[in-house]
């Protein structure tokens, strides 16, 4: 990520365009193009992009790179319409967790903006859209849908990542994004005994949020963060052993979330 040279007098500002996910190179190039065009807007500073779920760079990677490069102010602009309240909560938590991990270092001031619908300029956006060359969905012949097949690899594990309200408020989007990035990096579809993953609605034990469940055993994991995903991947999905420190067995009594020290 190329950064402009520091200036001694003017605070260095960066704007992060935060999208949800990119599973194709085309989507990432779209973000690169948007960041490049917005770079010309006065006052936004250096413009970069990040993804909150699947795709690189993640928000954490981007914020770390900007802090390393000495930026004084970072403005995060969520690109999500309509804005989900949980997405804003997730951004705040992600920033706080990122700063809490290295309390000694100097962090830039981070601010979070409103999504574009709440800003002036929608009229210009609509003019842009009207001037573009929209494609007609009906122009894709139905017969084209039958010309390509899908691979069905042998897979033992299925990881469900809860996206219910309490889990989202506790950082489930970050958990999902990290799992998907690791799934791609380690080729988990075919590594070991094979793994697929999926988002779900509420899995039940909301007080243990963020909750992840691994099948075929149906193991419940609670309080899962990125480090927890790393353990579940290496020990359970690739090693075949349940991560007892993060697992919650079915019991006839309510179980509270264990403190991290007890879960380590």
**Contact positions toward ligand FES, by CB under 6 A?**
162, 164-167, 202-206, 209, 211
Tell the smallest beta-carbon distance from residue 210 to ligand FES (Å): 7
Tell the smallest beta-carbon distance from residue 163 to ligand FES (Å): 7
Tell the smallest beta-carbon distance from residue 151 to ligand FES (Å): 30
Closer to ligand FES by Cβ: residue 211 or 214: 211
Closer to ligand FES by Cβ: residue 204 or 260: 204
Residue with tokens 């929608």: 122
Tell the smallest beta-carbon distance from residue 206 to ligand FES (Å): 3
Closer to ligand FES by Cβ: residue 189 or 258: 258
Closer to ligand FES by Cβ: residue 22 or 168: 168
Closer to ligand FES by Cβ: residue 196 or 206: 206
Tell the smallest beta-carbon distance from residue 68 to ligand FES (Å): 34
**Which residue minimizes CB distance to ligand FES?**
164
Sign, CA torsion 69/74/79/80 = positive
Closer to ligand FES by Cβ: residue 190 or 207: 207
Q: Are 157 and 195 in contact (CB under 8 A)?
A: yes
Distance of alpha carbon 125 from alpha carbon 135, whole angstroms: 18
Closer to ligand FES by Cβ: residue 206 or 247: 206
Tell the smallest beta-carbon distance from residue 169 to ligand FES (Å): 9
Sign, CA torsion 88/90/95/99 = positive
Tell the smallest beta-carbon distance from residue 162 to ligand FES (Å): 3
């Amino acid at each position: 990520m190329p950064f402009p040279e520091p200036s001694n007098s003017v605070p260095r500002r960066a704007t992060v365009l935060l999208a949800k996910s990119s599973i194709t190179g085309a989507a990432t190039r779209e973000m690169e193009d948007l960041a490049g065009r917005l770079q010309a807007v006065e006052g936004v500073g250096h413009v970069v992009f990040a993804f909150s779920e699947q795709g690189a760079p993640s928000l954490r990677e981007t914020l770390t790179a900007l802090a390393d490069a000495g930026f004084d102010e970072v403005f995060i602009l969520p690109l999500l319409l309509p804005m989900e309240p949980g997405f804003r909560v997730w951004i705040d938590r992600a920033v706080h967790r990122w700063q809490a991990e290295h309390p000694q270092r100097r962090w830039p001031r981070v601010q979070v903006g409103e999504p574009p619908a709440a800003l002036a300029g929608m009229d210009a956006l609509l003019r842009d859209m009207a001037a573009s060359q929209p494609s007609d969905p009906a122009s894709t012949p139905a017969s084209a849908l039958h010309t390509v097949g899908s691979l069905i690899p042998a897979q033992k594990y299925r990881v469900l990542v809860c996206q219910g309200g309490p889990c989202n408020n506790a950082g489930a989007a970050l958990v999902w994004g990290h799992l998907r990035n690791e799934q791609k990096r380690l080729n988990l579809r075919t590594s070991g005994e094979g793994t697929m993953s999926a988002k779900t609605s509420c899995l039940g034990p909301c007080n243990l949020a963020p909750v992840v469940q691994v099948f075929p055993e149906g193991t419940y994991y609670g309080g899962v963060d990125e480090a927890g995903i790393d353990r579940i991947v290496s020990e359970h999905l690739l090693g075949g052993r349940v991560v007892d420190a993060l697992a919650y067995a079915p019991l006839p009594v309510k179980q509270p979330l264990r403190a991290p020290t007890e879960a380590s």
